[in-house]
Structure formats: structure tokens, C-alpha cells
Structure 1
Amino acid sequence: MPGIDECLSEAMALPGARGAAIVDWTSGLALGSVGDSPNGDHEATAAETAEVARSAAEYGAFAPATPAPAPAGPGPAPLTPDSAAVVPDLAAVRGELPVEDLMVTTRAGFHLIRFVETTFDSSVFLYLWLDRRTGNLALARMRLRDLSERLVLV
């Protein structure tokens, strides 16, 4: 099982990889980074990508709520706008992140963010910057999923 350095090395072995990082999305700090950074500053890139990750993981558009089940009893109680309770979806109840990964495409590259589920707080993601001409987005997404499942954080 790879640690941070090995994980980043494997990410950089992907065709078209320009830079990679492992970021704590609650603080915006890079736990490790390698290669180039789109803006020339790995710490700024970590903070900026963490903002995008937080938005996707916390906003209702990406984590929709579902209506609460009707109470048990002799008959279903009619739902009115005032009585329609809302509960988080099943993934949120289990503590899982509602988003698996994010992809942002620009004219020059692809930016991938893959959330890493951990036993503690799942506040880490893998970030990969790919060259648009030489990178393979589908392959990168599959490899990041594999890396995120094998990554060991100590």
C-alpha cells in the first residue's frame, strides 16, 4: 500500500501528468506535492483546489437531500410544505462523501480531484494536473480511483 510519496510518484507516471498533490481539503494544505503547479505555487494550488473540493462536497447541488419517510401508523400522514421533513441522503448518513471525483477541463489541461475515504475524517483528496494534448483523462481517472483506495496515511 503506497504512502504519500509513492502515491504521488505513481500519479506522475501517468501519460501527460504535469503535477500532483495530496491535499487536506478542510485546511487547504498540501500533504505532499510533485511536478509543476498550474500557477507556479504548490501551496496556492492546494488552497485553490481545496476551495473547489469543499464547494462540491458541501453544497446541496452535489449532495441532494431526500424526503423523510412517512411516519408509521394507521395511514400515511399527508405531507404539506410545512411538514415535509428533509433528511440527508444515505451516503451522508453513513459519513461517506457524496462526491467521488471532480474534473475541470481548461484549454491547456485537465484537473482531477479524487476524494480519499479514510477511517478518520475523509478530508483528503488527490489532485492531478494533466496536459490536454498528451494526457488520457479516462485512464487518469481510473488510476486515481485505484490510488485513492490503496493510499495509506499515517
Structure 2
Amino acid sequence: MAGIDVSLKDMMAIDGAVGAVVVDYTSGMALGALGGSKDLDLQVAAAGNTEVIKAKLRTMEALQLKDGIEDILITLGTQYHIIRPLTGRGGKGLFLYLALDRGRANLALARHGLRGIEERLDV
């Protein structure tokens, strides 16, 4: 099992990673963050992506979908943003957020890597 700091380092080791955050989506607060830049404020990203998760959960409830979110992908011109809610024990209400440089990242490998990090994360 890995803690938040190790998981953030593992997320940043994914090819093309520019920022990684573990977020509590009940509050929008980042529990830990690594990377980012002047153009990618990870605290703002954590709060904003909390609203994305909450909106999707409300929509799923309104549609009466009895399913869970595996991940949410946001594709920008130069970046991929992956939001992955945690499903393991102790991870309820948390999500992983990974920003990738689109020119350097392999999206399939990044999603696979996040799945493994989620499985190892112990909060």
C-alpha cells in the first residue's frame, strides 16, 4: 500500500504528467499536490474539478443510472485532464486528478497507470 506522497510521485512519473492532485470532493480541498505551473494552479484545479465530479454524480442520479464513474477525461488543445474517483476502502469522497501534456502523453497508458495507483493508494 502507498500513501498520498508516494502516489503523487507515481502519478508524476507517468509520461507527460504536468500536475497531480489527490482531492477530497466533499470539500474541494487538495490533500496533496505535486507539479503544476504558473499556468496550472493545482489548488484551483482541485476545487474546479470537484464541481465536475459533483455535477456528473447529480446527473447520474437524475438519470437513475446505477453505475459508478471510472474516470472523466477532459481533452484540451494541449493537455489531457483525467479525473478518477477512488473506489477502494477509505477512498470514498476522494479523487485523483492528473494533468498531462498531450504531446508527450499516451492516454491509454496514463489511464492504466492511474488505475494501478488507485489500487495501491491507502488513505
Same fold flag (TM > 0.5): yes
Q: Equivalences for 1:1-150 in 2 at 5 Å?
A: 1-37=1-37, 39-60=39-60, 64-65=63-64, 89=66, 91=67, 98-120=68-90, 122-150=92-120
For 2:2 and 2:99, the matched residues in 1 are separated by: 20
Q: How many residues align?
A: 123
Q: Which amino acid in structure 1 is aligned with residue 93 of structure 2?
A: S
TM-superposed deviation, 1:121: 6.6
Of structures 1 and 2, the one with the larger relative CO (CA 8 A, separation 6+) is 2
- After superposition, give the CA deviation of every residue in 1:76-128 in whole Å (9 maximum; x if it has no partner): xxxxxxxxxxxx63x4xxxxxx2110000000100001110143571000000
TM-superposed deviation, 1:13: 0.4
TM-score by length of 1: 0.73
Q: Which runs of structure 1 show a deviation greater than 6 angstroms over 4 or more consecutive aligned residues?
A: none
Range that drifts further, 7-16 or 117-126: 117-126
For 1:115 and 1:101, the matched residues in 2 are separated by: 7
The RMSD of aligned alpha carbons is: 1.9
Range that drifts further, 51-60 or 27-36: 51-60
Q: Could you list the runs of 5+ residues in structure 2 that have no partner in the other structure?
A: none
Which has the larger Rg?
1
Contact 1:25 1:125 in 2 (8 A): yes
Aligned-pair identity (%): 41
For 2:75 and 2:102, the matched residues in 1 are separated by: 8
Q: Which amino acid in structure 1 is aligned with residue 82 of structure 2?
A: L
Q: Could you list the runs of 5+ residues in structure 1 that have no partner in the other structure?
A: 66-87, 92-97
Cα distance 1:137–1:121, how it changes in 2: closer, same or farther (>3 A)? closer
Cα distance 1:38–1:14, how it changes in 2: closer, same or farther (>3 A)? farther
For 1:49 and 1:38, the matched residues in 2 are separated by: 18
Cα distance 1:121–1:137, how it changes in 2: closer, same or farther (>3 A)? closer
Contact 2:19 2:42 in 1 (8 A): no
For 1:144 and 1:3, the matched residues in 2 are separated by: 14
